[in-house]
Structure 1
């Protein structure tokens, strides 16, 4: 049988200020998270001939890790400057684009989406010394077809979506739909869709061994008359499987080490960068993707119920729409004006407060963090009011 190409994708994200808060209130949890980040490149160094890992790092996480004050605070735990430097190693790590404040993109106002992508590319381009990123990781894997023109505008070649939501346009069998890249089209734009295997990703999140994984992949791809691409995606710093500081019992030592050791022996499963697979094999057929997100421990991801299930969540999202409209109206009207530095400052702060309010975590934890959204929206509204007073 031909090789099974395995694309490993890990999502890394911390809400604004969360690591600072944990360092003060739950220092061991903060250490576990930082160790989880630092462990990734250090583990892969010994396997730079075979290891291939995709990482998505939110803009807020990159902002924290690159902040000199934060770097100084955690220097005895992790050297964040060195960590960022090591993540630049394109031989073993491929960085995926995402949204700066980690919003569920289909849930936020369309007018705000560009800025999330632009701000992420600005900070990532600076920290990783590059001006293009081929793959896009939608925060929370929240995707809708209307995002395709936006992703193409920012130069992305492919986007990762969850298998639960992919439907064929071109007739194809189950194994073709799941283990081949496809084309999705919307309003004259098209992008390559990479399908995340939901069940295998669930196993990756909770803990598995290599023997089981190898048998499962062989069984799932046995009908493939092509070299399949199996994509597994999870968070990379949450849960004991990834946070455990003992390598022998965490993801890297208990699972991925054996996978890499076997891959060196030319085993059936070979780690792969998605971009390299696309260069060799291209995409097959057309699909459409239903609007939805990835699954959580208690929900399947359809209808974004994790973020919209309560009336409080719905009301907060409605307020986001209203404040966004007010901010953009003020910004658009100001284009033809000669603003003072103070006036421009108020508009700029109103905009970033709005963007930060859209962080997915503000809505994910039921109603526990919704107040964080409102705190930023309150500040955005106050900035607009001060701007109007200054401009009058």
Structure 2
């Protein structure tokens, strides 16, 4: 049997302000998360010969870890500066791109997707000292084929997708479908898709020993007449398996390091690998389609985004994202046409967009309706900022005779009524230039009425209220 290549992928995300809130109200839980993050590079020091880990770090987590105020607050628990420095080790870590505020990309407008991707690249290039990121991690593994042109435009070579949603276009066996990378196409664009093994990933999330993993991988790949790529993807700092501080009782000390020992001793037919290295050596096989969906959660299978869209209030929030996005990007277009790039109007538009993007954080929809008030509060703040921007803009001049066609194509920003607190869904339009990024407002604090905290993993959010 050919050597099995194992791609380990860990998603690391904490929503805006969450670690700060946990430190204030549930200190031990915050420490567990910080220890889990810090444990990743510490566990792998000196293992550069074999260890290979893909990391997705959300923009909000990177922002928190690089914040000098937060760094000072947690110094003595974790040295955030040293942690970020160790994550630059490209012998151990292949960092993959994602969205800044960790949105479920198929559920938000196209113009906002571009903003999330561009802002993540800005902070990741600065903190991690990488000019390019080959792979992409869709937050919550939320993927649709229409994302392919966008991912290619941002330079991504491959994207992770869940095995539940992959369908063959080229004839292939079950083993080939799951354990080989493939091409997926949308229009004139194509991208490599790397398939997450859902069942093995479930085991990685909850806890497994080396013997079980090696036996299971051997059974699943026994009929492969090619070099299989087995990909397991989970959160990397949530749940007791990753947070456990007891030596020999967490993912790293009970599973991954013993696995490396077995590989080094020649007692395992599994070899850790980076996806980029596998692709360079083995290439891709065949074409597939990927159905729209997300990864499985503790409650839902991910096929219809029920986790994030199961209630009317959740669906209304998604509709409100689209409405607010349309108005904000129309207003930004109108300002751009007039050459407005700085000053009070520009600042207000930047603030409106920032609140909108933060509202789209997946955690705001993940916990049923418990966190939807956070999204609603940010949407309200976005509308207020947009109203200020509109009040500062001049009224559009009346079109000259014969210019009706041009006028019809321009967004009627000034006469548009600002969205009510619950607006119906409308499709986003008018793309925005991705080359210029707006500065973040200086006060990112959420509304006091929605200061719940998240731990994801296996903790009910109702138990984490301060």
TM-score (ref. length: structure 2): 0.83
CA distance in 2, matches of 1:71, 1:258: 32
CA distance in 1, matches of 2:358, 2:249: 36
CA distance in 1, matches of 2:185, 2:262: 38
- Encode CA deviations 1:174-196: one digit per residue, 9 max, x unaligned: 00000000000001100000000
Does residue 259 in structure 1 map to residue 262 in structure 2? no
Structure showing the higher helix proportion among its residues:
1
- Encode CA deviations 1:176-226: one digit per residue, 9 max, x unaligned: 000000000001100000000000000000000000000000000000001
CA distance in 2, matches of 1:26, 1:188: 50
1:250 maps to 250
CA distance in 2, matches of 1:180, 1:389: 55
Secondary structure of 1:6's counterpart equals strand
Gaps (5+ residues) in structure 1?
A: none
TM-score (ref. length: structure 1): 0.99
CA distance in 1, matches of 2:335, 2:199: 50
Moved more, 262-271 or 207-216: 262-271
2:432 maps to none
- Encode CA deviations 1:118-153: one digit per residue, 9 max, x unaligned: 000000000011110000000000000000000000
Paired residues in the alignment total: 392
1:303 maps to 304
1:359 maps to 361
- Offset of residue 247 of structure 1: 2.4
Secondary structure of 1:313's counterpart equals helix
Alpha-carbon RMSD across the aligned residues, in angstroms, is 0.8
Give the 5 Å matches for 1:306-321.
306-321=307-322
- Encode CA deviations 1:4-42: one digit per residue, 9 max, x unaligned: 000000000000000000000100000000000000001
Give the 5 Å matches for 1:367-382.
367-382=369-384
CA distance in 2, matches of 1:311, 1:325: 21
CA distance in 2, matches of 1:288, 1:8: 23
Gaps (5+ residues) in structure 2?
A: 395-466
Secondary structure of 2:183's counterpart equals strand
Secondary structure of 1:73's counterpart equals helix
CA distance in 1, matches of 2:54, 2:389: 43
CA distance in 2, matches of 1:320, 1:230: 36
1:218 maps to 218
Secondary structure of 2:289's counterpart equals strand
CA distance in 1, matches of 2:330, 2:301: 37
Give the 5 Å matches for 1:155-170.
155-170=155-170
1:25 maps to 25
CA distance in 1, matches of 2:248, 2:265: 21
- Offset of residue 389 of structure 1: 1.6
CA distance in 2, matches of 1:2, 1:310: 47
Secondary structure of 1:46's counterpart equals coil
1:346 maps to 348
CA distance in 2, matches of 1:97, 1:388: 34
Does residue 63 in structure 1 map to residue 63 in structure 2? yes
CA distance in 1, matches of 2:350, 2:187: 32
- Encode CA deviations 1:300-324: one digit per residue, 9 max, x unaligned: 0001010000000011111111111
1:81 maps to 81
2:132 maps to 132
1:177 maps to 177
Does residue 241 in structure 1 map to residue 250 in structure 2? no
Moved >6 Å (runs of 4+):
none
1:269 maps to 270
2:292 maps to 291
Which of the two has higher C-alpha Rg?
2
1:151 maps to 151
- Offset of residue 56 of structure 1: 0.3
CA distance in 1, matches of 2:114, 2:265: 45
Secondary structure of 2:45's counterpart equals helix
